[in-house]
Structure 1
Amino acid sequence: MLVLITYDVNTETPQGQKRLHQVAKTCKNFGQRVQKSVFECLLDPLQLAKVRSKLSSIICVEEDSLRIYHLGNNWQSHIEHMGINKPYDPKGPLIR
């Protein structure tokens, strides 16, 4: 299934800046960055549980925001893209 992971990490402190780096690194391990704080990830249920667990251990729920949108298996009809950067095809080749 395709999930969209978005986050907003409070970077006013050094700890927040560290969390931001850790969240981005974790998301990169599971998907493709499509905007600065937005990742598209093609995951099975076990991978989704793993990324959710990792991210929830990093963020500070009092200062940060994390959203996971489930686009499902029929995701192609749910994404519309305009502007720069070619749309990401999670089923396409990894090397561009």
Structure 2
Amino acid sequence: MIIIISYDIISSNKRNRIIRVLREYGNRVQKSVFECDVSEKDRLDIFSRLSQIMEGDEEDKDSIRFYKVCEKCLSQTKIIGTGRIEERPDYLII
């Protein structure tokens, strides 16, 4: 499944921890936006790990948003400007 994760985090330290987690799962497509092609298990892992980073947060202005993108919607994605849509392979050789 494709999920879009965006964040707005004030603390540089916390933001860098979030970025490190997200880089394990997806591609950074804008400064505070990642596209991730993940399994349901990975999606839950990401949510759990980011929740732990946000836990006990005194800043009520920080946020992380998750958007699930269906296959039909993904096929209709358009980009204006720089960037490209990552191609999803039909198969993966391991």
Q: If the TM-score is normalised by the length of the shorter chain, which range does it land in? A: 0.7 to 0.9
What is the CA RMSD across the aligned residues, in angstroms?
A: 1.6
Say whether 1:55 aligns with 2:53: no
Gaps of 5+ in 2: 90-94
CA distance in 2, matches of 1:22, 1:6: 14
Identity, % of aligned pairs? 28
Give the number of aligned pairs. 86
Matched position secondary structure for 1:62:
coil
Gaps of 5+ in 1: 11-15
Q: Structure 1 segments of 4 or more deviating over 6 A?
A: none
Equivalences for residues 17-32 of structure 1 within 5 A: 17-32=12-27
**AA matched with 2:6:** T
- TM-score for the superposition, normalised by structure 2: 0.81
- TM-score for the superposition, normalised by structure 1: 0.79
